[in-house]
């Protein structure tokens, strides 16, 4: 079932190019998988920085139905590269999005690349056995490459989010629908409403 999911997600460009039929098929697969999740308490250890926390790791997006992410693909300025959820240093969870100038797609594949990376830093907390709360801490933006040259030495432009009342902080969360050694499926929530599904595979490093 997972191999079918990965193949389907690849064929629809992680959801950015999905048809209505493909979205329905992915949704059906994710629903079936969520009923078979082998991890009983997937949020265990999230806010205690425990080394055996099931969620700990680096996860690369293979599919999403979240409109706030899919809308990035419609930008006339940039295209969307790799997207990660970095949960290696719990309780910090960082969402990482790489973007490239859209004009770059007009050049040969060996043309020197320019990559801009955005990082949203959050602090995770346990809400239930399957629900993880998120407190948004900061947004950072920095170049990774400029015309093929390493630009990681450039300090990021960073914006710290203001401290909000508890009632607002509790509005952000995600529900873990499926978790095993190599696949994570979550449903993002905001203010008590579902805001989209994310499926991600475990990787060793941000490339």
Q: Give the tens place of pLDDT for each residue, 61-105.
A: 999 999 999 999 999 999 999 999 999 999 999 999 999 999 988
Per cent of the chain over pLDDT 90 is 78
What pLDDT is recorded for position 26? 97
- Burial of residue 1 (CB within 10 Å: 0-12, 13-18, 19+) is exposed
Domain that holds residue 166: 2-203
Please state, rounded to an integer, the average pLDDT across all residues of the chain.
91
Number of domains within the chain? 1
Q: 167 pLDDT band (50/70/90 cuts)?
A: very low
Q: 171 pLDDT band (50/70/90 cuts)?
A: low
Per cent of the chain over pLDDT 70 is 94
pLDDT tens per residue across span 106-161: 888 888 999 999 999 999 999 999 999 999 999 999 999 999 989 888 888 899 98
What pLDDT is recorded for position 39? 97
pLDDT tens per residue across span 30-48: 999 999 999 999 999 999 8
- Report CA-CA distances (Å) from 65 to 9, 49, 91, 108, 114: 11, 29, 25, 30, 27
d(CA 81, CA 84): 10
């Amino acid at each position: 079932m997972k191999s079918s999911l990965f193949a389907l997600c690849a064929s629809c460009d992680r959801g950015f190019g999905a048809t209505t039929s493909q979205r329905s098929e992915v949704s059906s697969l994710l629903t079936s998988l969520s009923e078979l999740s082998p991890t009983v308490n997937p949020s265990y250890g999230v806010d205690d920085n425990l080394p055996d926390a099931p969620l700990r790791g680096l996860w690369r997006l293979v599919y999403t139905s979240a409109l706030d992410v899919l809308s990035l693909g419609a930008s006339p300025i940039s295209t969307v590269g790799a997207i990660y959820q970095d949960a290696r240093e719990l309780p910090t969870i960082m969402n990482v999005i790489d973007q490239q100038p859209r004009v770059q797609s007009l050049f040969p594949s060996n043309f020197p690349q320019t990559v801009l990376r955005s990082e949203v830093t959050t602090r995770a907390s346990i809400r239930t056995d399957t629900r993880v709360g998120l407190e948004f801490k900061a947004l950072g933006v920095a170049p990774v490459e400029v015309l093929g040259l390493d630009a990681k030495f450039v300090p990021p432009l960073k914006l710290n989010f203001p401290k909000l009342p508890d009632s607002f902080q509790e509005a952000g969360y995600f529900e873990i629908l499926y978790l095993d050694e190599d696949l994570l499926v979550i449903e993002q929530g905001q203010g008590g409403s579902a805001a989209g599904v994310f499926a991600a595979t475990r990787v060793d490093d941000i490339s």
